[in-house]
Chains A and B, each alone.
Chain A
Amino acid sequence: MSLRYGLRTFLLELVMVAAAVAFLFPVYALVTLSLKDKQQLAASPLSPPTSPTLGNYSDAWSRASLGSALLNSTVITVASLVVLIAIGSFAAYFLARCATRLGFGLYVLFLLGIVLPFQLGMIPLFKMVDSAGLLGTYQGMIVFYTGIQLPFTVFLYTGFIRALPADYANAALIDGAGHLQAFTRVVFPLLRPITGTVLILNAVFIWNDFFTPLLYLGGSARETVPVRIFAFVGQYVSDYGLVFAGLVLAALPIIVVFLVLQRYVIKGFASGLKG
């Protein structure tokens, strides 16, 4: 941890960059193959593309009809995140500050959700969603993701809030603010770092989830990106260039969101995951 950029730091830099290059090999393969047409693929799959083509991308885009799927994925992801963060942070605040048995019991009950295999409740839940008339709707998916991701969200928020001095909120309460005001005006802004973490981790899960939207939305006009992409992959499985272009397209939005938010996200982790 020398403060100067000396030889040691330079050598470390070399090692780390080399590690990153090795690390990026699968990504290189993915992108290279997606930029080649069939002839180039057959001739030399892994060499850098001599005449890169975006043909695979435009084919994948139209054949998997990704346009509307992107909209569906965005609506479902954003709405679920809003609900999750709202009700998750409120609940965590209560759990972190309530020192009674009830508070602890509820906290453990939420943690239970992290270890339960989702298969356990799959059929009963499907029956419920069906009888509520929520199959093929945004609402059904939003309620599902909120419920299924609450344990992790509550876990992250509670850990963070416990490490947060109670003084600010208490000062507001003593000044005559209600609990609701104290939380929304004073406490919630302090949660910004962990909210960043909660946001990206849940966004990743919801955006990438494949099976649930297939089950609940399959065949409807509300199909999400992974559902369309895997139908597409299943159909063109032997055409690497096309399939890899589809995979890049499906992953791109979440990667872009991550890149835009990355500073915030990694900082959020840094101050958020104190446990």
Chain B
Amino acid sequence: MDGARASGGRAGGGRVRSRRRRGGFLTPPWWFAAPAVLVYALVVLYPSASGVMYAFTDWNGIGDRSFNGLDNFQRLWQDDAARGSLTNTLLLTVAIVVVQNGIGLLLALGVHTHIKSRAVLRVVFFTPAVVSPVMVAFLWKYVYNPAPDAGLNGILGAVGLGSLRQDWLGDPSLALWSVAGMVVWQFAGYSMVIFLAGLEGVPAELHEAAMIDGAGRWQRFRSVTWPLLAPSVTINVMLSTIGGLKLFDQVYAATSGGPGHASETLSTVLYKQAFVYGNYGYSTAIALVLALFVAAVSLVQVYYLRSREVGS
């Protein structure tokens, strides 16, 4: 039934358009959008637009400033540290998008069954998503305590997996992935809920028909469930990509970009340039590039994933 509504939605859109051509009066008046546009322009658009100006200045954030043209962008182009942080940002984002959504999907498939604990489990897996990311980072710094008898290492030791103990946040080759693990823990339940939305839209009759045709579990997943999950995949991938690319609180609270610069991301560099190093103009240039980058990536993604949806 839900699936029918989803497909009916697209048809419905068409219907509105054709009626509009005939009548026009069915479109709500423009002033429906006016308050929202006004507040949005006031709080987001206007300040952001006037903030862009700083990207073309040498402002330190508190003193006098003068325009320096494209110097900041040139500097960004040559900045090795910024380039390293771009690589980290991409790695972190890919890890989060793949693992968070992978686990989210498995959890969704697991609780979208007849198991007795399904209602409780849905709540359990989603709850971390409602807690403040900074608090989660604070808690996970305890979990990631490198001492062999504390936190995660302590548990690994207790269940006989002592050889897997790690210096989670202190090992430069591991720190970034430990941060990713923390983010995945917090938001896997979020992905799960969105996938559940998709799963509940898969009509049971389709499954039954496939079962009668003798399709196995995996085949049924491949040919029935997965294609119909496409809209949930789109939304999950898009949200986790934007979240990953802009990720700041968790990284900064957990590692401040360290050890060394091993877990530095574009957002932590942006923050440090603005408020720690006192290079506000330069940081604005980074913010601008980050925004354009996120916009470009999400546009490409939505375009690609949507085309997949139509094709299915």
Contacts and interface: CB of A to CB of B under 8 A. Distances in A.
Interface residues of A, number: 98
B244 interface: no
Assign chain B's interface to a size class. Answer: 35 or more
A171 B2 CA distance: 22
B123 interface: yes
B134 A210 contact: yes
B282 interface: no
A88 B36 contact: yes
B68 interface: no
B123 A208 contact: no
Given A29-B151, A147-B39, A124 B51 contact: yes
A273 B270 contact: no
Main secondary structure of the interface of B (DSSP, over half): helix
B28 A98 contact: yes
A87 B36 CA distance: 5
Interface string A114-128: 111101111111001
Interface in B198-213: 200-201, 204, 207
Contacts of B139: 26, 29-30, 244, 247
Nearest to B138: A247
Contact of B12 (A5, A29, A123, A165): A165
Nearest to A226: B132
Given A9-B115, A121-B47, A269 B32 contact: no
Interface of A: 1-5, 9, 12-13, 15-17, 19-20, 23-27, 29-30, 33, 45-46, 87-88, 90-91, 93-95, 97-99, 102, 106, 109-110, 112-117, 119-125, 128, 143-144, 146-148, 150-151, 154, 162-167, 169-170, 173, 179, 183, 200, 204, 207-208, 210, 226, 230, 233, 240, 243-244, 247, 250-251, 254-255, 258-259, 262-263, 266, 269-275
Given A20-B124, A91-B36, 5 more contacts: A29-B142, A106-B37, A119-B287, A164-B12, A166-B12
18 contacts: A15-B110, A25-B155, A95-B33, A102-B30, A109-B45, A110-B36, A110-B40, A115-B295, A119-B271, A120-B52, A147-B42, A165-B9, A170-B26, A207-B132, A255-B131, A269-B193, A273-B197, A274-B5
